[in-house]
Amino acid sequence: MLDSILKHLEALVSFDTRNPPRAIDSGGIFDYIRAQLPDFRIEVDDHGAGAVSLFAVRGQPKCLFNVHLDTVPSSPHWSADPHVLRIGNDRAVGLGACDIKGAAAGLIAAAQATQGDAAFLFTSDEEANDARCIAGFLARDHGFRDVVVAEPTSCEAVLAHRGISAVRMAFTGRAGHASGPGALDASALHHAVRWSSRALDFVGLESHRRFGGLTGLRFNIGRIEGGIKANVIAPAAELRFGFRPLPSHDIEQLHAAFRGFAAPDALEAYEETFRGPSLPSGDVAVAEDRRLAARDLADELGLPVGNAVDFWTEASLFSRAGLNALVFGPGDIAQAHTADEWVSLEQLQRYAGIVGRILGSA
């Protein structure tokens, strides 16, 4: 099946689906996929802002396969055109080859090699942190109980991963000359730095937390900016941070804690800019039940089970909606979002072979 996979991957990589700039429409790559699945019932929906989904169904399947087609922007460090697939050293190199057009090519090749029941949901907004496609699908009466979401997991079923939250904080101060004794308490930047110290100490105290092989709370201060110059008290500062909770964390309690580390008269804004739930989703008891259900799904499909991962996926959105969800796809996450991104030919062939077996026995 490898020749078929690579033919489709070459075509998929050639389409520019970089996100941003969120300029994807319902033609292009979606026209290509539609043409490859003539025996499927096809529905294409444009949700706006580059979010397009293609839902393809053959027969009466019980399990849905989901894969996103958008990629991150290409960096200037690519050694060749990122939209031209290169094959060599047992690798396929191209923008999105690993994350995750390789899986899309595998699904198409497996569908063409079989005649069993199948359902695919191709989307184009995963890299936008604005999950319109999945939300649109879940709002309909879809009838599915199980979903397999493609991300690079080295062809192992992942049953658990962290959630994600990104936050913007605005601190306020009182401008003045830095020679005065009030500079220590008046500077917005000092407020931001004090907040940072308290937050880092708090995260350290969460290191004992565990769920499904994951440990502790992941946290990162990505940016602090503000002020004018060294001898002027900073009247304003902005800080952006993110954290990745365990499925067993209460995300609202975490936000309350982080918000509380700021002096009330210094905090002008605390705004969550993006949230993605953990996998499985729900409180501790519900999450454990859903993890066990996903384990049963992996066993039913004959998928080897791997370790929980730290990166976020849209499988959590399906889990939050009550579906049995797991993550399974070809490639190594270490290659995702890199220059000269690649996926091994062995992984592509293994993934398509497993999908083909599932579809052939459906």
Active-site hit among 10, 43, 126, 272: 126
Q: Is 126 tagged catalytic?
A: yes
Structure tokens that stand for 93 in this block: 């190199």
Q: How many CB atoms within 10 Å of residue 183?
A: 18
Which residues, 6 or more positions from 59, have their beta carbon under 8 angstroms from its beta carbon?
116, 117, 118, 362
| Full DSSP string of 206-221 | TTT-EETTEES-EEEE
Secondary structure (3-state) at 174: coil
C-alpha closest to that of 310 among 153, 183, 155, 177: 153
Structure tokens that stand for 330 in this block: 């070809």
Are 116 and 59 in contact by the 8 Å Cβ rule? The answer is yes
Strand residues in the chain grouped as ranges (E): 41-46, 52-58, 63-68, 86-88, 91-93, 118-123, 146-149, 164-172, 210-211, 214-215, 218-226, 236-244, 267-276, 324-327, 342-344
Strand pairing class (236-244; 164-172): antiparallel
Helical (H) or strand (E) element with 129: none
Catalytic positions, written as ranges:
126
